[in-house]
Structure 1
Amino acid sequence: MSVDLKVLSSSSYDRSSDEQLVDAVREGDSEALEYLINKYRNFVRAKARSYFLIGADREDIVQEGMIGLYKAIRDFKGDKLASFKAFAELCITRQIITAIKTATRQKHIPLNSYVSLDKPIYDEDSDRTLLDVIGGSRVSDPEELIINQEEFVGLEDKMSEILSDLERKVLMLYLDGRSYQEIAVDLDRHVKSIDNALQRVKRKLERYLELRDGGDSGC
């Protein structure tokens, strides 16, 4: 009988909306919490795959995303217009980015941070993206460059024009989550050569964006 009750309970969760599950968690339903976490685990992993941080294990970024998910469950208010999924995505992304920024301040590793190439900046007064403004306003740390792999796809054609063959190979391996050491082995280069190549990529990207922004100034 207990097995039947368990199946019924799981089936009930399947039929419930995320918002209803959050309410159940607030009422102390630990199984509803476990169900929500498991339901969104792959979503968190997909988000985490978009960000890479030198010196950190990919699972570290996934864990930060899971913390963001937990905060979303804790802080979601059902009276808001946003769905729980939209709110969870916001919390997960912010948690990952905050963790990466914190790590960059502590480690001071070249290119050990991020630039989200086509995500809206968290600035309510502007609808421009970091891709649009990095060349003009810069990020607070000149070594910071967070690369969002999903948003990089649209720039691949331009990258093939402004990057050398080595720089393009290094960047694509970096975006694939490889460490400096792994890239160096793959390309039969010294680690310092890989670091220098990524620094050149950053400078060329910034220069391209500066020129592009200057060309758009008359619009």
Structure 2
Amino acid sequence: MLRFGFGDSEGALETGSVHSGARFGYMQEEEVVDLAKCGHQGATEFLISRFRPLVENKARAYFVMGADREDVIQEGMIGLYKAIRDFRSDRLNRFRPFAELCVTRQIITAVKTATRQKHVPLNGYVSLNRPCHAETADSTLMDVLPSVAGGDPVAELLGGRLPKHIDETVTNALSDLERQVLACYLDGLSYREMSSRLDCHPKSIDNALQRVKRKIGTLLKE
């Protein structure tokens, strides 16, 4: 079973993970998201498992030079985590379209950031999803999509700023620096902005972020 959190049985239903998954299957996705936001590990695992095919499908739409497909999938899973974290059932009726938006934006933003920072392996990409027939040869799909550098998808959709937090089950396994870097990354900060905020060399920021991604990637495979 995919695990996006830490710990053994905390938050699991008394009937066990198998029966928990069956129970979640009869619930509305929005109800499961609300449970996950309250720290229910079983609900989070169920959502990660259910939406991973969507993430993999989105990842197939991008060819990233110098990276394997799993790198792109991990970026998409981070987008899914952000969707679970930021979804507000009192503001939006359905979770799935919001999750799809967050996953797509996360992949595109990661590619743009990596291209700007000239980091490998995410140092360039070709979109196979929607070719952009712009007048100039340099124009790409990511150029015509709204930038997310100044805010998160929730703010764009709702026109307001929502409180943000990072799930304790994820941060428990991270060092202080890794937690701070992850928080900045989820807020859409560039490497330069992270370096200024945390008073760290950009290389230290990059190393910490790569460690965070490896840890999350390992958890998703467990």
- TM-score calculated relative to the size of structure 1: 0.51
Aligned to 1:135: 135
Aligned to 1:95: 106
Aligned: 1:31 with 2:42: yes
- The alpha-carbon deviation at position 9 of structure 1 amounts to 2.5
Point out where structure 1 has 5 or more consecutive residues left out of the alignment.
119-129, 147-219
Aligned to 2:15: 5
Which of 64, 70, 89 matches 2:75? 64
1:19-168 correspondence to structure 2 within 5 Å: 19-107=30-118, 112-114=124-126, 118=130, 131-132=132-133, 134-136=134-136, 138-139=138-139
CA-to-aligned-CA distance 1:80-129 (integer Å, 9 cap, x gap): 345101000000000000111112223399x92345763xxxxxxxxxxx
CA-to-aligned-CA distance 1:51-99 (integer Å, 9 cap, x gap): 0110112110000000000000000111234510100000000000011
Specify whether residues 116 and 135 from structure 1 end up closer, same or farther in structure 2 by C-alpha distance, changes over 3 A only: farther
Partner Cα distance (1:105, 1:8) in 2 = 46
Which of 1 and 2 has greater Rg? 1
The question of whether the paired residues in 1 share the 8 Å contact of 2:78 and 2:106 is answered with: yes
Specify whether residues 145 and 88 from structure 1 end up closer, same or farther in structure 2 by C-alpha distance, changes over 3 A only: closer
Q: Relative to structure 2, which stretch is displaced further, 25-34 or 66-75?
A: 25-34
Query: How many residue pairs get matched?
Result: 127
Point out where structure 2 has 5 or more consecutive residues left out of the alignment.
1-12, 143-222
CA-atom RMSD in angstroms: 2.9
Aligned to 1:166: none
Specify whether residues 37 and 115 from structure 1 end up closer, same or farther in structure 2 by C-alpha distance, changes over 3 A only: closer
Specify whether residues 90 and 5 from structure 1 end up closer, same or farther in structure 2 by C-alpha distance, changes over 3 A only: same
The question of whether the paired residues in 2 share the 8 Å contact of 1:113 and 1:145 is answered with: no
The percentage of counterpart residues that share the same residue type is: 48
